[in-house]
Structure 1
Amino acid sequence: MKNPRPQPGQSATAPRTLSRVVPDPTALKALTHPVRLRMLGMLRVDGPATATQLAARLGLNSGATSYHLRQLAQYGFIEEAPHASRRDRWWRASHELTSVPASEVEGEALDLDLAFNQAILSLQVGHMQQALEEYAELPAEWRKASTASDIIIPMTAEQAEALTRRLTDIILEAMRVAPPLGELAPPDMVPFSIMLHAFPYPGRLPHREGDDGS
Structure 2
Amino acid sequence: MTEESRIHLSAHTLKGIAHPIRVRLLGLLRSEGPSTATKLAERIGQSSGVTSYHLRQLAQYGFVEEDASLGTGRERWWRSSHRSTTLETPAAREAPLETEIYMRAIAAASAERVDRWLGESVALPPEWDDAMGLNDYALLLTSDEATELTKRLLDILKDYRPYYEQPVPEGAERVEVQLNIMPLLGRTAADSADSSPATPTEEN
Common fold by TM > 0.5: yes
Q: Structure 1 CA distance, aligned partners of 2:148 and 2:10?
A: 25
Q: Which has the higher helix share?
A: 2
Residues 1:196 and 2:158 are matched in the alignment = no
Aligned AA (1:158)? D
Aligned AA (1:56)? E
Matched-pair contact (CA < 8 Å) for 2:37–2:51: yes
The share of aligned pairs that are identical, in percent, is 38
Matched-pair contact (CA < 8 Å) for 1:81–1:92: yes
Q: Structure 2 CA distance, aligned partners of 1:190 and 1:30?
A: 32
Measured against aligned partners, the alpha-carbon deviations of 1:157-211 in whole angstroms (never above 9, x if no partner) come to 111101101112222332xx44627x77345333211110102244249xxxxxx
Residues 1:185 and 2:168 are matched in the alignment = yes
Aligned AA (1:73)? A
Q: Given the superposition, is the C-alpha separation of residues 83 and 143 from structure 1 closer, same or farther in structure 2, using an over 3 Å criterion? A: farther
Q: Structure 1 CA distance, aligned partners of 2:91 and 2:20?
A: 25
SS at match of 1:203: coil
Q: Structure 2 CA distance, aligned partners of 1:34 and 1:179?
A: 23
Measured against aligned partners, the alpha-carbon deviations of 1:25-44 in whole angstroms (never above 9, x if no partner) come to 23212212111111111110
Q: Given the superposition, is the C-alpha separation of residues 53 and 167 from structure 1 closer, same or farther in structure 2, using an over 3 Å criterion? A: same
Unaligned 5+ runs, structure 2: 189-204
Residues 1:94 and 2:78 are matched in the alignment = no
Aligned AA (1:180)? Y
Aligned to 1:149: 135
Which 10-residue stretch deviates more, 25-34 or 120-129? 25-34
Q: Given the superposition, is the C-alpha separation of residues 83 and 185 from structure 1 closer, same or farther in structure 2, using an over 3 Å criterion? A: farther
Q: Given the superposition, is the C-alpha separation of residues 136 and 189 from structure 1 closer, same or farther in structure 2, using an over 3 Å criterion? A: same
TM-score normalised by the chain length of structure 1: 0.77
Aligned AA (2:32)? D
Q: Given the superposition, is the C-alpha separation of residues 84 and 123 from structure 1 closer, same or farther in structure 2, using an over 3 Å criterion? A: closer
Higher relative contact order, structure no. (Cα contacts within 8 Å, ≥ 6 residues apart): 1
Matched-pair contact (CA < 8 Å) for 1:45–1:191: no
Aligned to 1:208: none
Measured against aligned partners, the alpha-carbon deviations of 1:139-172 in whole angstroms (never above 9, x if no partner) come to 2223322111111222221111011011122223
User: Which one of the candidate residues 113, 118, 122 is aligned to 1:136?
Assistant: 122
Matched-pair contact (CA < 8 Å) for 1:80–1:90: yes
Unaligned 5+ runs, structure 1: 1-15, 206-214
Aligned to 1:166: 152
TM-score normalised by the chain length of structure 2: 0.80
Matched-pair contact (CA < 8 Å) for 2:10–2:91: no
What is the Cα-based RMSD across aligned positions, in Å? Answer: 2.4
Aligned AA (2:120)? E
Matched-pair contact (CA < 8 Å) for 1:39–1:54: yes
How far off its partner does 1:102 sit? 3.0
